[in-house]
Structure 1
Amino acid sequence: MSEVTLNGGCLCGAVQFQVRGEPQRFYHCHCRRCRKASGTGHASNLIIGDAALSFTQGENLLKRYKVPDAQRFARQFCSECGAAVARFVPELNGVVIPAGALDDAAPIQPQARIFWDSRADWSCDGDDLPRYAEYPV
């Protein structure tokens, strides 16, 4: 797929971002951390590789929380409304976008459900997406 430009923001509109790069993956993650961070059965994240992330509004309102013992897991959010927004992940050399934060249509469809084995038993289960116990190889 070729490079795309995606726009998004937080719930209150105070933080706005733009991401440019190559869409690589789109996963529904069912791990405990994603469930806690989202307050739902899974987090839906779009990963953009070789990406540039810029905040066009509200960068001074950003807060970031990284789970101390996590290799990659972190959360970036608006300090006004608490909504998650895009964040750069050095280990991926890319940007993770909470799909619900997008103002534009996602350029790819979800590809898999990851950390399926740690899924809450009440979480959704109504599609044919591949399921992985952890990250796909």
Structure 2
Amino acid sequence: MLSGSCLCGRLAYEADAELEGIAHCHCRTCRKAHGAAFSSVAPVPRQKFRWVRGEEVRRSYESSPGKFRHFCAECGSHVMAERIAQPVVLLRLGCLDTPARCENQRHIWRSDGASWYDPKAVWPELPEGLMAR
């Protein structure tokens, strides 16, 4: 089972599913919504997804026709996205609380990617939040 929640913990979900694929989306809309170079998402079957708390803080934004991004009104975390007619919902993996692994990953919408980020570049990795100069 997968579980996830927003930054403040008021909005949470569960999904009786495994991660079968991960997409790191570089489209302009995902970059703007998350304030990052890309958004990592994974589809899970709609019928296996459920909200477990936070209905009072859950808000939605229709970012393109038929696509709804669900987020917490308290802390702003984007938690899940969906197209109503699709059989899957997209979990925003930055909000995943369950440890998970998935070898099936890809970058999508690279044609729309941030000019300052190249996923092929190798950069130093630091164990914690120290900014290298």
Letter in 1 for 2:59: K
Closer, same or farther in 2 for the Cα pair 1:92/1:106, shift >3 Å? Answer: farther
Task: Indicate if the aligned counterparts of 1:23 and 1:49 stay in contact, CA closer than 8 A.
Answer: no
Task: Indicate if the aligned counterparts of 1:21 and 1:50 stay in contact, CA closer than 8 A.
Answer: no
What TM-score comes out, normalization by structure 1 length?
0.78
Where do 1:1-137 residues align within 5 Å?
Answer: 5-21=1-17, 23-49=19-45, 51-67=47-63, 70-71=64-65, 73-109=67-103, 111-126=105-120
Q: Percent identity?
A: 31
Structure 1 residue matching 2:102: 3-state secondary structure? coil
Q: By how many angstroms is 1:88 displaced?
A: 4.3
Closer, same or farther in 2 for the Cα pair 1:50/1:10, shift >3 Å? Answer: closer
Any gaps of 5 or more consecutive residues in structure 2?
A: 122-133
- Structure ID, larger Rg: 2
Task: Indicate if the aligned counterparts of 1:17 and 1:86 stay in contact, CA closer than 8 A.
Answer: no
In 1, the alpha carbon distance for the partners of 2:5 and 2:38 equals: 20
Closer, same or farther in 2 for the Cα pair 1:43/1:74, shift >3 Å? Answer: same
Q: By how many angstroms is 1:105 displaced?
A: 1.6
Q: By how many angstroms is 1:124 displaced?
A: 3.6
Structure 1 residue matching 2:19: 3-state secondary structure? strand
In 2, the alpha carbon distance for the partners of 1:39 and 1:8 equals: 20
Closer, same or farther in 2 for the Cα pair 1:105/1:43, shift >3 Å? Answer: same
- Over aligned residues, Cα RMSD in angstroms? 2.2
In 1, the alpha carbon distance for the partners of 2:18 and 2:79 equals: 18
What TM-score comes out, normalization by structure 2 length?
0.80
